[in-house]
Structure 1
Amino acid sequence: MSGAFRISNAGRLTPAKTARFTFDGKAFTGVEGDTLASALLANGVHLVGRSFKYHRPRGFLSAGAEEPNALVEIARDGARKTPNVRATVQELYDGLVAKSQNRWPSLSFDVGAVNNLASPMFSAGFYYKTFMWPKSAWKNFYEPNIRSAAGLGVAPDQPDPDHYASRFAHCDVLVLGGGAAGLAAALAAAETGARVIVADEQAEFGGALRFESGARIEGQAGWAWAQGAVARLKAMDNVRVLSRTTAFGYYAQNFVGLVERAGDHLANPGHDLPRERLWQMRAKRVVLATGAIERHMVFADNDRPGVMLASAARTYLNHYGVAVGRNVGVYTANDSAYAAAIDLKKAGVNVAAIVDLRDNPSGALIDQARAAGIEIHDGRAVVRVGGKLRVSSMTVQPKNGGGERAIAIDALLMSAGWTPSVHLFSQSRGKVAFNEDKRFVPGTYAQDCVSVGACNGTDGLAASVDEGYAAGVKAAKEAGGKAAKAAKPKVEVGETWSRGMLGSAPGAGPDTTVKAFVDFQNDVTAKDIRQAVREGMRSIEHVKRFTTNGMATDQGKTSNMHGLAIAADMLGKPIPEVGLTTFRAPYTPVTFGAIVNHARGPLFDPTRRTPMHGWAEKHGAVFEDVGQWKRAWYFPRAGEDMHAAVDRECVTVRKTAGLFDASTLGKIEVVGPDAAKFMELLYTNPWEKLEPGRCRYGIMLREDGFIYDDGVVGRLAPDRFHVTTTTGGAARVMNMMEDYLQTEFPHLNVWLTSISEQWAVIAVQGPKSRDIIAPLVEGIDMSDEALPHMSVREGKICGVPTRLFRMSFTGDRGFEVNVPADYGQAVWEALWAEGQKHGASAYGTEAMHVLRAEKGYIIVGQDTDGTVTPNDAGLDWAVGKKKADFVGIRGMMRPDLVAKGRKQLVGLKTKDPKVVLEEGAQIVDNPNQPVPMKMLGHVTSSYWSQNCGRSIALALVAGGRDRMGETLYVPMPDRVIEVEVTGMVFFDEKGERLNG
């Protein structure tokens, strides 16, 4: 046998299957199936960590996911290092290496324990009230030192070499929890033929049966029944069974996030097996069978190593075959702790005494304890324990005061009752209710789910199984399953499941001057809760934040009810009136690796490339990231820097022609008999009378009257529009259109289709643009009379279908050639070959920006900031004067949006034409005014224009159009730049080049 505290013939593990591991460099041996916690306890190790704030010695509180103390670092090699792993759920494997955290130089001697002596400085809310003066000391001394001391584990400093998997799944019934109630629900639903997924966070199903020794189902031991039920489920084609899988978040429309530990429990997971697998599930109905969490007792020094929950001691004994001590004391306020004492006594462990806070407790378990010769002290409380690095005694006193008695022990088991685990129910936006048993249980449901068993406040194995079975039948029926065929499990109730199992006594003893811990993870004491109330905290949410009770990874699992009870006592209110804090996802910590999953390195963010990307790459393009798109920024030739390349590209476009890849523009088809009516409502412009074959520039507003997006829209037919959007606005415009169509205008007969990826777009701009395109076009008359500016025609180019737009974003004659994406590069190469005959150039996004700015064309998102109206942007002409309604029309009429002095888009010319302004630079009318200066606006676009022979800029300036010709100033760190306010058009002011 491995370990001095391993009990022969106890537990469910195979003693011969050993596993070696180290903790803080010391070698130990455990048994396959152990957790790190059970293996350490088998070797007599209770001290495993130091507390967050006071660096107090800490041991195991629990045997499951609710563990707040035993957080360790698991390291496989230099790069595989995971901090803050709960030792109670980390499965043992041969070669496991674990280290304690938050201590220096060693676990047994930690200099940080000086914080415990200075604890009066660190009382509740200390960070809100101290270190605030002088201000410089906070930034230079307090903050950096506090931040360096914060946290428990140390984050890895090397890239994670593991890989992670992701799966999506749908099912009729999703059962969360593999205890007796959950298994009964899964079996009942599965037998109807419904698609069932059942998940449990443990390596083996069974739930609370893991710590049971006497429960009986159908004449078999409860644990054996559970394993048989799992085997039956695994044999069914319509069932997926997921062990080691934690449901960490319950989101809208029955969407549940789960993480499966796929390789963390293996010594050599190999390269093919992911470390973890993220499951994203959608279920027609969710059955919550998440059980209940035992509460600790609140008394002085209740955090000593060796002090733990009674259910944890039973689990370690009955499942792992480990005794948590040789001379054990019990402190309880309900029946279930008696079962732990009886099991330990039967296993040969001495039970020094049971201290029961209740007066004259009675029942079968109490009778059994007395018959076993266990000393019971009722109506008494444990007021403190002795020992430093391990509990050595408990001091007992009548709960109403009186003489004290010290009893020697080496472990203390405690139970203040059980709290239904309503975390996932709360995440689903369900509202809890406070029942007659003084427990918060699921009340009003917000989603299609049901709670069964202990998480529903149900006492007893028989009732839990019945409730689970009924819920499974109903869930399957509502999900479309056939009539249930599963035989209802017959339950013989063991004495350990008698009523009182989920008792609710808070168990708080004297705590006015001592450290009686409510929240072990955050070092919150009963005294802290009382102080928070004394200092004016009335809402439990405020108490939570002031004290940090129930925050971090604990999420109130073991601390919430005690915190509520103490606050309610201080406020003189019933617990329900104080309320319950919000449980947030994740239920237990989730690794960044599982969340990020495949989105690492080159896959961190999807990279979108246009059909012409390869050609641009071969021709030396320098790319920039625009959202997820890779766009050609400029095309440098030998010896050219960016500025020289952009100058050449801009001049070439004006003199001859240029080719530009505009495929990233958003494109949406609006189709249907009511397409024009829909466009009238979504855009500021009129569309009903736009003839097929013509285009119009359109502006889309938000409800508040501010510009949301813009683009050119072509009418292909009476019932079909080709809408273009900005590159960044493609998705949001589509979403906005769908939102209005489905919620505000459902009476309109319209269909919307995103075609952004369907069409590659090649902009050919410049005086020679028609000469380049014409030889390749079939079926389209290219003359100015047949194809005037702002027209669209359908035909062929290079033998493939095209939607040819006559439009310009440079102010020169221009065309935009839309072709199916698969033919984009081939058509580009054909146009490029024609363009070379005329001296054309490829140009990138930087030249595109300069060329459009020369003409005063704005870019939504650059020259607008979400607070710009059409009038502010000088686009009143694009708002239908006779239109009665469109999205944003009422917002535009608000007094502030028509008031004088609003910021308006104008042009700026620097007095020194060679000075190029910085985008975002602030503008003032008096550079000598005292700080803080009054800012008039800011520069939105600024470039050097080779075609203009000077710098140009656009800016948002208060009352801008009334300031034409004025001199304003742009203060910079090293100088003040004088600028003149001008119109927005710097090149070809009359617009003669559109047909030139």
Structure 2
Amino acid sequence: MAATHRISGHGRLTPAKTVRFTFDGQSYSGLAGDTLASALLANGVHLVGRSFKYHRPRGILSAGAEEPNALVSVERDAARRTPNVRATVQELYDGLSASSQNRWPSLSFDVGAVNDLASPMFSAGFYYKTFMWPKAAWKSLYEPKIRAAAGLGVSPDQPDPDHYSARFEHCDVLVLGGGAAGLAAALAAAETGARVIICDEQAELGGALHFEAGTSIDGADGWSWAQATAAKLAAMDNVRVLPRTTAFGYYAQNFVGLTERVSEHLASPGHDLPRERLWQVRAKRVILATGAIERHMVFADNDRPGILLASAARTYLNHYGVAVGQNVGVYTANDTAYAAAIDLKKAGVNIAAIVDLRDNPAGALVDEARALGIEINHGRAVIKTGGRLRVSSMTIQPKNGGGERNIPIDALLMSSGWTPSVHLFSQSRGKVAFDDATKRFLPGTYAQDCVSVGACNGTDGISATLDEAYAAGEKAAKDAGAKAGKSAKPKAETSESWAGGMLGAGPGAGADTTVKAFVDFQNDVTAKDIRLAVREGMRSIEHVKRFTTNGMATDQGKTSNMHGLAIAAETLDKDIPAVGLTTFRAPYTPVTFGSIVNHGRGVLFDPTRKTAMHGWAEAHGAVFEDVGQWKRAWYFPKPGEDMHAAVNRECVTVRKSAGLFDASTLGKIEVVGPDAAKFMELLYTNPWEKLEPGRCRYGIMLREDGFIYDDGVVGRLAADRFHVTTTTGGAARVMNHMEDYLQTEFPHLNVWLSSISEQWAVIAVQGPNSRKIIEPLVEGIDMSDEALPHMSVREGKICGVPTRLFRMSFTGDRGFEVNVPADYGQAVWEALWAEGQKHGACAYGTEAMHVLRAEKGYIIVGQDTDGTVTPNDAGLDWAIGKKKTDFVGIRGLTRPDLVAKGRKQLVGLKAKDLKVVLEEGAQIVADPRQPIPMTMIGHVTSSYWSENCGRGIALAVVIDGRDRMGQTLHVPMPDSVIEVEVCSPVFFDEKGERLNG
């Protein structure tokens, strides 16, 4: 189908560059440089979608990212289907295939439109009241139906074949927005030599200069100046210009997230180009030049296709050369719409009438419209429109009531004024302030090193905007450390002004009406819905928002928020600031998962960490489990063994002879410096000052509240050096914990902290024959019990490689942990394995490790503790220095609740049936005959089958557990109640004789 609504001689596109595309299966042609929206309008297509709740026909409202209606699915192939694409920002390319959404069986005949007829049943908040009864229907009926109805587009169901990229960047000045203000600010900053980045969400920089026709800057028309300035900036070595790039999030310390559409506009992107690129930018100074968003008028049936914003119609005419209609009406409360009417009139489009809500509009634009013979009806309002799939008429009357007049039209332009785009400013944690004179929220109190310029700062007029922006650019560069600039400030001339306007509903949509005057187009929120929310008791605008869903659609209320706020304020009889303002959260516009996730999918979804011995374990048949980001050998099955058989064999072998275990994933931190012992005294409950070099100690770390945070064995290598081990999962957080206290609470201590988790491979050799296995390979270390007693550490060599050899055990048997540089980990492991084979040793995995430690009652932080366990609860009072007067958590331990009776304490559990293995997490009760819900007195934290004990064993936390020794408690399960006896948490070698056996 050929385009028929282009106006010869208008627009900036090249008529010869045609492209083909389809919409809902119908073929059309457009021009290179079109958006999907402009190309559809050029073909006379206004109906593009259906609203979410009522399925009302919807047309193109805007020409930018604020678009709430024209959401389409774009499909390159079966795997490349993107829902909810705004047609106003989707650039046209040859072969583009788009389809409308939220309709069946077709866009023009949608069965879902029956909801519009039933709209009295679907008033705001109806779902909060309707789905309460019967209670059983929620799961069987309501929830499935609601989930099926939720959403607009259809998500792709195949893996995304495209790739995405990410960049980290630093700059002196980051300019967000490429309109006249952003260009002037970037130019001023760039001329100082500062490193500048300027980004804009559109394909070409220029902002409002896309549609403004009467602006002259430095003797050229505004658009030409913008393109020349953008080209000048792009040619400068210290400037990066990023078109098609949206600043979606403003975070702490001037960290801004940008997403760049790299190849969405290309017919054949090729495999070398990413689809999108995520920029994570840290800037010394940020300049916000984000412009303003035009608001619609709120009146009856203001949502028909063919009704759109005045600035949008002007954009389609002046930039794309497209007329949105041939007989156009205008409804306005400010001067901006006059400029649109004048441009269309000069292009040969009939302007049926301008309806101005103001009583006595005056100014150059009003005078020019009159001079062109355009009918102006001031002091009047549009009270309703006609038409079904496209607007066909508007009915007007004096705003104070009176005779109605029906005017035929095929398009209606509207403008109630402009809302400064303060979204990113708010995201920066800046506080907006309401300007009562202009009825708009403006940047108020700043929280970061940024400044707002131009329309987003409430600055009216191009000349004032350029002056403000240029000065801001120079100052930002100077504040970032650059020198004075050398370029001349741009000068502008224009007769246009964006000031003035109105907020809230217009005449005919007042409090006593039932008409549908739409505030939020996508979610079908009307003025009467806002008023209903207030009548239902909502007083905060945040509550009104959630009750009505106003501003909760994909456009995040860019056009609707201020109207909704004004209507709520009017209904409450309060000033607008007293009602509050909804929070502007990131992202500014929707961001794809691909852009955020980037390469992090498939095997790269989460970093996979492997120890130095991973390859050996893999070659010897290990089954792995994920522990955090680590791949850890879970068990080593022999032919014919399942997991249980393998673990049983490993546990018995370790107790009878020896076993090798890869403990490299343990967190390891080196604490070094003259005050290292003082620092350890403050961070741990244990005493450290008198610990001799060469000795080890089990240490407990608490939070301020007195609860266990982490634990591990610490070796003192020298008077000023400690080798600290942490749990695998606690490595990073313990390091952060230490750094936090060192920098904020104990900065007077002369201490350095180094994470050495990856530097040392750790091989645990445990069992009665462990010394026999290690001794032949060690150099320079006396391995006798007298020279190397339990809980000692020595430095020497093993297999010719430097080692830190710990005499310690997590199994309760004689044991050692061999630390060697990670590069030599597998070689030393293989040497130890060869020696171990002489003594019948085995390799064992994490499951056997858990069983062996549980047999001895050794806890694992995070499994046997849950963030509310104190050392006393865990039976570890002995690990608290009796003479210590200060350490992190000491005051927390004295809180009354932490020393009172009735706390859960760590105990052991033995099921009366030896073969029963309790389920971890199972609840424990004193009396199973009590009514449901029962009173739970504890739960199982660890539970295993112990081949060495010949029974199931378990650890648990139970209220006053140590006073219940020998008592019978009960574990209710779905099919039975299991009797258990409370016992000591040590099930094997209770006297600890095997540590030296």
Q: TM-score, normalised by structure 1?
A: 0.99
Give the CA deviation at 1:508: 2.4
Give the CA deviation at 1:384: 0.5
Amino acid in structure 2 at the alignment position of 1:215: T
Structure 1 residue aligned with 2:964? 963
Secondary structure class of the residue paired with 1:266 = coil
Q: Within 2, Cα distance between the matches of 1:220 and 1:155?
A: 47
Q: Within 2, Cα distance between the matches of 1:138 and 1:973?
A: 25
Give the CA deviation at 1:246: 0.3
Structure 1 residue aligned with 2:41? 41
Structure 1 residue aligned with 2:151? 151
Structure 1 residue aligned with 2:776? 775
Give the CA deviation at 1:441: 0.6
Structure 2 residue aligned with 1:458? 459
Q: Within 2, Cα distance between the matches of 1:137 and 1:827?
A: 64
Structure 2 residue aligned with 1:885? 886
Do the aligned residues in 2 keep the contact of 1:419 with 1:502 (CA within 8 Å)?
A: no
Structure 2 residue aligned with 1:118? 118
2:852 matched to 1:854?
no
Structure 1 residue aligned with 2:614? 613
Structure 2 residue aligned with 1:571? 572
Aligned counterparts, 1:18-29, within 5 A: 18-29=18-29
Q: Within 1, Cα distance between the matches of 2:166 and 2:157?
A: 25
Amino acid in structure 1 at the alignment position of 2:141: F
Do the aligned residues in 2 keep the contact of 1:79 with 1:156 (CA within 8 Å)?
A: yes
Q: Which moved more, 1:928-937 or 1:203-212?
A: 928-937
Q: Which moved more, 1:128-137 or 1:298-307?
A: 128-137
Amino acid in structure 1 at the alignment position of 2:133: W
Aligned counterparts, 1:529-678, within 5 A: 529-678=530-679
Secondary structure class of the residue paired with 1:868 = coil
Amino acid in structure 2 at the alignment position of 1:308: L
Give the CA deviation at 1:926: 1.4
Instruction: Write the deviation string for residues 86-108 of structure 1: whole angstroms up to 9, x where unpaired.
Output: 00000000000000000000000
Give the CA deviation at 1:137: 2.0
Structure 2 residue aligned with 1:523? 524
Structure 2 residue aligned with 1:352? 352
Q: Within 1, Cα distance between the matches of 2:173 and 2:241?
A: 12
Give the CA deviation at 1:780: 1.1
Instruction: Write the deviation string for residues 714-757 of structure 1: whole angstroms up to 9, x where unpaired.
Output: 11111111110000000111111111111111111111111110
Q: Within 2, Cα distance between the matches of 1:502 and 1:638?
A: 83
Structure 2 residue aligned with 1:950? 951
Amino acid in structure 2 at the alignment position of 1:516: A
Aligned counterparts, 1:663-812, within 5 A: 663-812=664-813
Give the CA deviation at 1:393: 0.4
Instruction: Write the deviation string for residues 60-96 of structure 1: whole angstroms up to 9, x where unpaired.
Output: 1100000000000000011100000000000000000
2:390 matched to 1:390?
yes
Do the aligned residues in 1 keep the contact of 2:551 with 2:561 (CA within 8 Å)?
A: yes
Structure 1 residue aligned with 2:932? 931
Q: Which moved more, 1:439-448 or 1:129-138?
A: 129-138
Instruction: Write the deviation string for residues 784-843 of structure 1: whole angstroms up to 9, x where unpaired.
Output: 111111011111111111111110000111100111111111111111111111111110
Amino acid in structure 2 at the alignment position of 1:219: G
Amino acid in structure 2 at the alignment position of 1:548: T
Q: Which moved more, 1:925-934 or 1:3-12?
A: 925-934
Structure 2 residue aligned with 1:875? 876
Q: Within 2, Cα distance between the matches of 1:2 and 1:697?
A: 81
Amino acid in structure 1 at the alignment position of 2:737: M
Give the CA deviation at 1:671: 1.1
Do the aligned residues in 2 keep the contact of 1:357 with 1:381 (CA within 8 Å)?
A: yes
Aligned counterparts, 1:194-213, within 5 A: 194-213=194-213
Give the CA deviation at 1:614: 0.1
Secondary structure class of the residue paired with 1:815 = strand
Q: Within 1, Cα distance between the matches of 2:670 and 2:930?
A: 53
Amino acid in structure 1 at the alignment position of 2:924: I
Do the aligned residues in 2 keep the contact of 1:2 with 1:15 (CA within 8 Å)?
A: no
Structure 2 residue aligned with 1:184? 184
Q: TM-score, normalised by structure 2?
A: 0.99
Q: Within 1, Cα distance between the matches of 2:755 and 2:302?
A: 62
2:208 matched to 1:218?
no
Secondary structure class of the residue paired with 1:392 = strand
Q: Within 2, Cα distance between the matches of 1:138 and 1:919?
A: 32
Structure 1 residue aligned with 2:941? 940
Structure 2 residue aligned with 1:907? 908
Give the CA deviation at 1:503: 3.6
Structure 1 residue aligned with 2:506? 508
Q: Which moved more, 1:210-219 or 1:376-385?
A: 210-219
Structure 2 residue aligned with 1:371? 371
Secondary structure class of the residue paired with 1:4 = coil
Secondary structure class of the residue paired with 2:132 = coil
Q: Within 1, Cα distance between the matches of 2:443 and 2:23?
A: 41
Amino acid in structure 1 at the alignment position of 2:92: L
Give the CA deviation at 1:552: 3.0
Give the CA deviation at 1:553: 2.0
Amino acid in structure 2 at the alignment position of 1:855: K
Do the aligned residues in 2 keep the contact of 1:417 with 1:506 (CA within 8 Å)?
A: no
Instruction: Write the deviation string for residues 597-620 of structure 1: whole angstroms up to 9, x where unpaired.
Output: 101100011100000000000000
Secondary structure class of the residue paired with 1:227 = helix
Do the aligned residues in 1 keep the contact of 2:503 with 2:566 (CA within 8 Å)?
A: no
Amino acid in structure 2 at the alignment position of 1:456: N
Do the aligned residues in 2 keep the contact of 1:911 with 1:980 (CA within 8 Å)?
A: yes
Amino acid in structure 2 at the alignment position of 1:577: A
Do the aligned residues in 1 keep the contact of 2:706 with 2:890 (CA within 8 Å)?
A: yes
Give the CA deviation at 1:867: 1.0
Q: Within 1, Cα distance between the matches of 2:84 and 2:94?
A: 20
Do the aligned residues in 1 keep the contact of 2:383 with 2:396 (CA within 8 Å)?
A: yes
Instruction: Write the deviation string for residues 161-214 of structure 1: whole angstroms up to 9, x where unpaired.
Output: 111111111100000000000000001101111100000000000000001112
Q: Within 2, Cα distance between the matches of 1:554 and 1:50?
A: 15
Structure 2 residue aligned with 1:282? 282
Amino acid in structure 2 at the alignment position of 1:179: G
Give the CA deviation at 1:502: 5.3
Structure 2 residue aligned with 1:329? 329
Q: Within 2, Cα distance between the matches of 1:881 and 1:517?
A: 71
Secondary structure class of the residue paired with 1:933 = coil
Structure 2 residue aligned with 1:248? 248
Q: Within 1, Cα distance between the matches of 2:287 and 2:814?
A: 65
Q: Within 2, Cα distance between the matches of 1:563 and 1:963?
A: 63
Q: Within 1, Cα distance between the matches of 2:921 and 2:138?
A: 32
Instruction: Write the deviation string for residues 133-175 of structure 1: whole angstroms up to 9, x where unpaired.
Output: 1111222212211221111111111111111111111100000
Q: Within 2, Cα distance between the matches of 1:167 and 1:921?
A: 48
Q: Within 2, Cα distance between the matches of 1:503 and 1:853?
A: 73
Do the aligned residues in 2 keep the contact of 1:2 with 1:31 (CA within 8 Å)?
A: no
Do the aligned residues in 2 keep the contact of 1:263 with 1:276 (CA within 8 Å)?
A: yes
Q: Within 1, Cα distance between the matches of 2:609 and 2:387?
A: 63
Q: Within 1, Cα distance between the matches of 2:34 and 2:362?
A: 36
Give the CA deviation at 1:504: 4.4
2:352 matched to 1:361?
no
Amino acid in structure 1 at the alignment position of 2:945: W
Do the aligned residues in 2 keep the contact of 1:657 with 1:841 (CA within 8 Å)?
A: yes
Give the CA deviation at 1:507: 5.6
Do the aligned residues in 1 keep the contact of 2:503 with 2:563 (CA within 8 Å)?
A: no
Amino acid in structure 1 at the alignment position of 2:83: P
Do the aligned residues in 1 keep the contact of 2:926 with 2:970 (CA within 8 Å)?
A: yes
Give the CA deviation at 1:505: 4.8
Instruction: Write the deviation string for residues 524-583 of structure 1: whole angstroms up to 9, x where unpaired.
Output: 100011111111111111111111111132222101111111111111111122221100
Aligned counterparts, 1:54-73, within 5 A: 54-73=54-73
Do the aligned residues in 2 keep the contact of 1:334 with 1:505 (CA within 8 Å)?
A: no
Q: Within 1, Cα distance between the matches of 2:844 and 2:137?
A: 54
Aligned counterparts, 1:309-320, within 5 A: 309-320=309-320
Q: Within 1, Cα distance between the matches of 2:654 and 2:137?
A: 59
Secondary structure class of the residue paired with 1:710 = strand
Give the number of aligned pairs.
Answer: 993
2:76 matched to 1:105?
no
Instruction: Write the deviation string for residues 4-25 of structure 1: whole angstroms up to 9, x where unpaired.
Output: 1111110000010011000000
